[in-house]
Structures are given as structure tokens and as C-alpha cells.
Amino acid sequence: MTTVRTAPTHELGAERLAAVRALLDAAFEGDFSAEDWDHTLGGIHAWAEDAAGLVAHGAVVQRRVLHRGGSYRIGYVEGVAVRADARRRGLGGAVMAALEGVVDATHRFGALSASDEGAALYRARGWQVWGGRIAVLGPDGTVPLPDEEGGVLVRPAGGLALPDPGAPLVFDWRDGDVV
């Protein structure tokens, strides 16, 4: 059984951060931008290593979401990847279990934007496709994101109820992919 460790970004060190970036670049086949990398930093990372090095990684970062007049601190999952030669062995689930523990302990709920390939892992772990609208609070006000609808998954934290899908989730602004 591979051990999953967790630590905040500032404790990873330059060598491990470089290994995380290399894993994400390989896993996303060169489609992991500088903005995507920035989104992965500043939170809590979960990772596993084997004899060949870093084998799996994920992070949870804090984001703000407006919903029904409230502003909620949520745990947003970023940078989940498993090295190609180690997939389908439970490592993604082990990393997600560690990240879900962080979400449960410190946030109102969890959210993530899933690729088609990754969505099955998250749904199997109890994450639910957000059935409501998605928007972002941008520099010029609230901007609807209809193209993101159906690709955002949410998970209640610590036994709390999920938000009401009758009202949109309005995410905080960030460069690159806003959701």
C-alpha cells in the first residue's frame, strides 16, 4: 500500500514542486498552463511516491463562492493526476480521500471541474454534478458560464447540506480557467 502524505505548498520544497509540475504536464499531455499551475498552489497537497518518484498528486485550495446571498469558503480541488504507468490501482482515490478530509475539516463544501476522463473517479466517491447555473464574479460584474455547467462537481463537507441548485454558484475571479 502506498502512503499518501499531505502538506501545504510552502512545505513541499522546490524539488517536489518541480516533480508535481512535471507529473501534471505529462498527465495533461502538455495542456496544463501556467494559470492551471498557479491554481494548484497555495493550499494543501496530497501525494504519493514510489521507487520511480512522484506517482500521484492532488491539491485543495480555498475559493470563495457566492450563493443565495452568502459568501462561502469552499475547498476547490486542483491538479489531480496519476502517473500513466500507475493508473487504475487506487492511487487517485487515495489522494482524493486525503483531500476530502481537508475539505471536510475546513470548508463548507468541495467543488472541482472534472475532465471527462476524471469525472467517473469523483462520482464514484460521492461527488455530484452541480445541477444549477455556474457564474464568476469578474472585474466587470457577474458573468454566466453556461459552458461550465455539467462539468462542475460538488461534495458536502462534514455532513452539511449541499447548496440549492435553484440558485447559481458564483465563483471568485482568477486568471485562466475561472472554474
pLDDT per residue as tens, the chain (179 positions): 679 999 999 999 999 999 999 999 999 998 999 999 999 999 999 999 999 999 999 999 999 999 999 999 999 999 999 999 999 999 999 999 999 999 999 999 999 999 888 899 999 999 999 999 999 999 999 999 999 998 999 998 877 788 888 899 999 999 999 99
Q: Looking at the domain assignment, is residue 129 inside a domain?
A: yes
Rounded CA-CA distance 153/150 in Å is 8
Q: Say if 22 falls within a structural domain.
A: yes
Q: Is residue 178 part of a domain?
A: no
* pLDDT at residue 61, rounded to an integer: 98
- CA distances for 144 relative to 102, 140, 165, 176, angstroms: 29, 12, 15, 16
Rounded to whole angstroms, the Cα distance separating 24 from 12 reads: 15
Q: So what's the pLDDT on residue 60?
A: 98
Question: Is residue 177 situated within a structural domain?
Answer: no
Query: Does any domain span residue 179?
Result: no
> What's the structural domain count of the chain?
1
Per-residue HEC secondary structure of 96-163 comes to HHHHHHHHHHHCCEEEEECCCCCHHHHHHCCCEECCCCEEEEECCEEEECHHHCCCEEEEECCCCCCC
Domain with residue 55: its CATH number is 3.40.630.30
Write b or e for each residue in 86-116: b if 16 or more Cβ atoms lie within 10 A of its Cβ, otherwise e. beeeebbbbbbebbbebbbebbbbbbbbbee
Query: Does the pTM of the predicted model rise above 0.85?
Result: yes
> What is residue 1's predicted lDDT score, i.e. its pLDDT?
62
What span, in angstroms and rounded, lies between the C-alpha atoms of 164 and 65?
13
What residues contact 172, with CB distance under 8 A and at least 6 apart? 63, 64, 65, 136, 137
Contact between 170 and 65 (Cβ < 8 Å)? yes
Instruction: Please give the residue range of the domain that contains residue 50.
Output: 4-172
The 8-class DSSP code of residue 10 comes to G
Cα dihedral 123, 128, 133, 139, rounded to 10, equals -70
